Structure 1
Amino acid sequence: MSMSTPTSQPLGVAVIGHSFMGKAHSNAWRNVGAFYPEAPPARQAVLVGRDPLRTKEAAARYGWAEAATSWESVLERDDVHVVDICTPGESHHDIAVAALAAGKHVLVEKPLSNTVAESESMTRAAAEAATRGVHSMVGFNYRRVPALALARQLVEQGRIGEVRQVRASYLQDWLTDPTAPMTWRLRRESAGSGALGDLASHVIDQVQHITASTVTGVNGRLHTFVAERDGDAGREAVTVDDAAWATCVLSSGAIASIEVSRVAAGRKNGLSLEVFGSEGSLSFDLERLNELGVHEEHGEHAGLRRVLVTEESHPYLQAWWPPGHVLGWDATFTMQAADFLGAIAADRAPSPSFAEGLAVQRVLAAVEQSARHLGTCVDVPAEDPLEGGRA
């Protein structure tokens, strides 16, 4: 156990933010003990938000013992051991760095922050905190989708041979309507970027994680289809992208094609991934998240088949339902919470780490740089955040 972790009492958790992600994370903390009784027990200590009444109402709905409006005050509490940050990206750095300095284990929603510089600072703070037994993780929850975890295993085992190509997209349609109102996600100062940071961060993490390689260069394009939207004070300029495209060179020599959009009519939450190797291929669609398409060129199972990833032998399924009883999107956050608690208890580095979040942030920045120069190829630096030199 770390120096900041009690040996017998439940770990007190504070979630910062109670909107979409705060609700998803609250659901995970409420249920993690039921599905993962072997994980260290967690206590829903406090939910933090800016509006006192809304935060109090959300805390009561989501099972929190208390509500608070100051994240700074939460860091002073001895009964809070885990800080889970579900706020817009503009505040990730300050909350995370302060929480780590206070000896709190930290989980941060993706993307790690809005800028490479902030992500580098957070990664340095995480590395220093780790020397004190204080752990941190970035919330790329799709790593916990059993079908995607199985895809990584199959690639590791060489079942599809040498990976040559990856096609990945994440398409949503909630901004298709030009009358949809302005939100914080459409302002660069609060969100950092648009579909790029919101959706491509997930895609890039999956590409790098499943192929066990890194993006070394990109050609990227960004586009904003609706330049203005109605805000509280009238018409307001949209300062982030609606859609993004990138062609990525991987350290393995493979090529990945990435497309993300929040104006793709008819797609609600369509994260799609295809991995093509010399001996087969894999395919996945989040809108059918319990299925993995597996094609093998040779052997006993040659051909294309649908694998229903609900067997007890599949990744993460031991804690859930009998075969064929499918899981939902919300379960990934419960698995994430269990993984984080297990890492804290074992005093081991959780994954994805802040360093892995920084690696994604560097790719996002390279896509933006390429887009500013009309698709010119931009190298992705592989600098060690602790040394400032080449890794």
Structure 2
Amino acid sequence: MVGYGFMGAAHSHAWRTAHRFFDLPLTPVLHSIAGRTDSSVRAAAERYGFASATTRWQDLVEDPQIDLIDICTPGDTHLEIATAALAAGKHVLREKPLANSVEESEQMARAAQQSREAGSLTMCGFSYRRTPALAYARRLVADGAVGEIRQIRANYLQDWLSDADAPMTWRLDKDKAGSGALGDIGAHVIDLAQWVSGQHIAEVSGTLETMVPTRPAAGTAEGLGGRGDTSGERQQVTVDDVALFTARFASGTLGSFEATRMAQGRKNAMRLEINGSKGSLSFDFERMNELQFYDATAPEGRQGFTRILTTEPEHPYAEAWWPTGHGLGYEHTFTHEIADLVRAIGEGTEPSPSFEEALQVQRVLAAVESSSDHGSSWQRIDTQENTR
């Protein structure tokens, strides 16, 4: 693993756990972890369960005992590490978004395609796909439960940066993060809207806004919203705090999207609603074990949203865990992700989401940025899928 912060902790837990609850063809071994600071990475190795630590990610790529590289670093490092790992014949898991630009994402997708022919597999970590309720929603849509999709709305609401004096973090630096709320959390709802509906976004019209243009320079602050020690100096924020955009899918379906870290009181409200000719589906991650389903074909007087508690053995992933009614948490999405990846490697099948799928999301992100830069004009995502 490269990186040991927030995502490093989540991924490490999943690597330790997946084979204990799922019947997998291979057993993960946590061999080595890399990070910039020697003392910190060694402490992370001890805490997360890795056998060794290094300050050179190249050591992991060069080690013949290592089969897979898990990249949990800021976006500006993704291309170099991933392409080196693939060239060395490693499997690669990398956190979303794929990279900080379409060009870098295209390079990674090409490298993944070439490496696939040599047996190296890749996956991009859109972990929310592994929420049982959302995986079940995708199944219901595919089965025709909502009929023809007419409208999609998706938003991701957080408030951890709503305090104007919260310190600067790498997530607010465009050179490191690529974009702000749009790429950090908006990427998730873009991916989910496309994945659950089975449709690609074809064009967008959007607006990006930086609500707090400067923030105190961080001292020892780490993690999401950590304050730490701060100085009197304020640094320039170079990414968006709020992203709003309208989308038209390749099928003609309309969608509305919002990503913000300014929504006071909303801690992790990642929401998706799909309206169709026969009904609707609605989900909010703050109630992650529930899916709301509206059946418009029910008799009059009996219509209304039904709460489905997605903890039954029939629901995706739920059978591996606890008795019915005992809910899962955020960490389980990563465990499911690792289980799916290890199973794909063991069986020699293609993991999903692939780098190519993640590239489609990156193209949407870039189109929203371009639209905002050009007065919210409509921008088309020119891909082979949308052309068809």
How many Å separate the matches in 2 of 1:291 and 1:390?
36
SS of corresponding position for 2:30 = strand
Matched, 1:357 2:352: no
SS of corresponding position for 1:169 = strand
Give the one of 129, 153, 157 matched to 1:171. 157
Matches within 5 A, 1:23-172: 23-172=9-158
Aligned residue number for residue 335 of structure 1: 336
One-letter identity of the residue aligned with 1:96 = A
**Residues 69-106 of structure 1, C-alpha deviations (whole Å, 9 max, x = no match):** 11111111111101000000000111001100100000
8 Å Cα contact 2:24-2:342 kept in structure 1:
no
Gaps of 5+ in 2: 219-230
TM-score (norm 2): 0.94
How many Å separate the matches in 1 of 2:317 and 2:383?
31
How many Å separate the matches in 2 of 1:203 and 1:34?
30
> In angstroms, what is the RMSD of aligned CA positions?
1.4
Aligned residue number for residue 370 of structure 1: 371
Aligned residue number for residue 263 of structure 1: 262
**Residues 12-60 of structure 1, C-alpha deviations (whole Å, 9 max, x = no match):** xxx1100000000001001111111334111000111111101111110
8 Å Cα contact 1:273-1:283 kept in structure 2:
yes
One-letter identity of the residue aligned with 2:135 = A
How many Å separate the matches in 1 of 2:25 and 2:286?
29
How many Å separate the matches in 1 of 2:217 and 2:324?
48
Aligned residue number for residue 222 of structure 2: none
TM-score (norm 1): 0.93
Shift of 1:306: 0.1
**Residues 91-144 of structure 1, C-alpha deviations (whole Å, 9 max, x = no match):** 011100110010000001000000000000000000000001110000000000
One-letter identity of the residue aligned with 2:196 = I
One-letter identity of the residue aligned with 1:158 = G
Shift of 1:236: 0.9
Matches within 5 A, 1:143-222: 143-222=129-208
| 4+ runs deviating over 2 angstroms | 299-303
Aligned residue number for residue 221 of structure 2: none
One-letter identity of the residue aligned with 1:330 = E
How many Å separate the matches in 1 of 2:112 and 2:58?
18
**Residues 299-349 of structure 1, C-alpha deviations (whole Å, 9 max, x = no match):** 488532100000001111121111000000000000000100011111111
How many Å separate the matches in 2 of 1:101 and 1:58?
27
Matched, 1:292 2:291: yes
Gaps of 5+ in 1: 1-14
- Corresponding residue pairs, total: 373
Aligned residue number for residue 7 of structure 1: none
How many Å separate the matches in 2 of 1:343 and 1:54?
33
8 Å Cα contact 1:220-1:367 kept in structure 2:
yes
8 Å Cα contact 2:158-2:262 kept in structure 1:
yes
Identical-residue share of aligned pairs (%): 49
Shift of 1:263: 1.1
How many Å separate the matches in 2 of 1:68 and 1:337?
23
How many Å separate the matches in 2 of 1:352 and 1:48?
25
SS of corresponding position for 2:62 = coil
One-letter identity of the residue aligned with 1:67 = A
Higher mean displacement: 135-144 or 297-306:
297-306
8 Å Cα contact 1:311-1:324 kept in structure 2:
yes
Shift of 1:383: 4.8
One-letter identity of the residue aligned with 1:358 = L
